[in-house]
Structure 1
Amino acid sequence: MTEAAMTSIPNAIAHLDWQNIRSQLDQDGFALLDGFLEALDLLERDWGATFGCLKHGFYPYLAQISNQWNQRLQLPYRYPRQFHQFQAQCLAAGQRQERSHLMCLREDDYLQIRQDADGEHVFAFQLVAVLSSPGKDFAGGEFVLIEQRPRMQSRPMVLPLQRGDIAIITTAQRPFKGSKGYYRVNMKHAISRVTSGQRLGFLLSFHFSPGPGHGG
């Protein structure tokens, strides 16, 4: 990745409407960043370096929101201010396996309902993106969030991701304000079956999985 690209990513992140993003995350558990990657012209870049830059850029803003969520849920843990500090906590806990990866789904492929929450240290948010065009490069393949509230039916939410969009999603749990205060809502995600073409995207996690080795 060029020096200009490495500079443009944190600048673009800093100029996002973080008040609106916080409101979206509080209300729905996800926030859409339309055309974020298209504006940065990153689709042919070194994705290992790009992932690292995205992590370092997004983490400080999302850590503030994560700590607010933990406070609402009366959880004692507080995320450190910078990504390298959180990364060090993961490595010290034996979480060394990189989770972030490009994902190519072809016809009949799908991502089953899941929750990327293994390990002692799990960050509250993940980033997901689509790098090919729905309706042109592929059909089907919708990204779905499933919200599971206690004693209620699960609520599926389809995120209308277009090429170059990024979504910030809840990794596992988020606070929901009920009549008696905040309680935990469980969140999972999936990608529906691709009916034709090829769907390229990525899933970026700020925490690592238990296991050897990591991608930085």
Structure 2
Amino acid sequence: MNSAVSRSREASPSDPSGPAVEAAEQRVARYDWTALAANLDNFGCAVLETLLSPEECRELAALYPHEEHFRSHIHMARHGFGKGEYRYFRYPLPDLLGGLRTALYPRLAPVANQWNERMGLDTRYPQRHADFLKSCHDAGQLRPTPLLLQYVPGDFNCLHQDLYGDLAFPLQVAILLSEPGRDFTGGEFVLTEQRPRMQSRAEVVPLRQGDAVAFAVHNRPVQGTKGNYRVNLRHGVSRVRSGKRHTVGIIFHDAR
């Protein structure tokens, strides 16, 4: 297996370090984070084009049948989540995934802190992901939340929010591992936003293989005529029409 998705033997289980993180930091640094933050402010989501190469996408998707990488296997229909399935990774995460989780967090933490300030919330997030994870673990949220999702024809994911305990980081990232039009059809990423006393607004986010979308988990602030107000967001995936679709999700808080 390529070293990019191998498990690190030197890093701590929940806080990777070393070459995997350094490589991820270099990869993440090439994006215009001022523009991405503006998109998050304006639309609740932002696309990082070609975050992963096609080879890296295939290698991550190929992990799905191998149970040793995962702590649990969820069939959505059993829980009313939709139709399809996903697996939560166990610690230690694959190097590529753990490195990206560590490298993306400090780019998103300033947005999260600004949002909480605008919404009048007291919570502030530390700059280092390891420090935030320690808070999660101290609160009893010990289980890793990054996941690998698999959809086949007829599968879909109901609109939802990925909240797993009292502590939740307000942004997360999903990376499309399959190529639309070649590997599958349908299966669009959908984000909905409910503003007070208004009808819901839907945002369909077009992605190609290797693209990532950063988006709001739960709430975000919107500037109104009388100041900032809070809107509620949910995300999901529309029905897959043909083929097979794989996505990896990077959630920054751990679960109870």
Same topology, TM > 0.5: yes
* 2:21–2:100 CA contact under 8 A, matched in 1: no
The 5 Å alignment of 1:34-183 reads 34-38=49-53, 41-43=55-57, 44=59, 48-183=94-229
- Tell which has more relative contact order, 1 or 2 (C-alpha 8 A, sep 6+): 1
CA distance in 2, matches of 1:108, 1:98: 28
Contact 1:38/1:165 (8 A) holds in 2: no
CA distance in 1, matches of 2:102, 2:248: 17
Pairwise CA distance, 1:120: 1.2
Q: Does the C-alpha gap of structure 1 residues 84 and 48 become closer, same or farther in structure 2, counting only changes over 3 Å?
A: same
Q: Secondary structure at the match of 1:71?
A: helix
Distance 1:139 1:90 in 2: 38
SS in 2 for 1:127: strand
The superposition leaves residues 24-61 of structure 1 with CA deviations (integer Å, 9 ceiling, x where unpaired) of 0110010001111128x522258632221111101111
SS at match of 1:128: strand
How far 1:157 sits from its partner (Å)?
0.7
**2:198 aligned with 1:198:** no
Q: Distance in 1 between matches of 2:31 and 2:141?
A: 30
User: Which runs of 5 or more structure 1 residues have no equivalent in the other structure?
Assistant: 211-216
Match of 2:44 in 1: 29
Query: 1:24 is aligned with what amino acid?
Result: N
Q: Distance in 1 between matches of 2:136 and 2:19?
A: 30
1:132 partner SS: coil
* Equivalent in the alignment of 2:30: 15
Structure 1 counterpart of 2:36, one-letter code: I
Q: TM-score w.r.t. structure 1 length?
A: 0.91
Q: Is contact 2:176–2:209 with CA below 8 Å preserved after alignment? A: yes
SS at match of 1:69: helix
- Equivalents in 2 of 1:161, 1:10: separation in Å? 22
CA shift, 1:6, in A, is 4.6
- Residue type at the aligned position of 1:101: L
Deviations 1:53-92 (A, max 9, x none): 1111011111111111111111111101100000000011
Using the size of structure 2 for normalisation, the TM-score is: 0.78
RMSD after superposition: 1.6
Q: For residues 144 and 105 of structure 1, what CA distance do their matches in structure 2 show?
A: 15
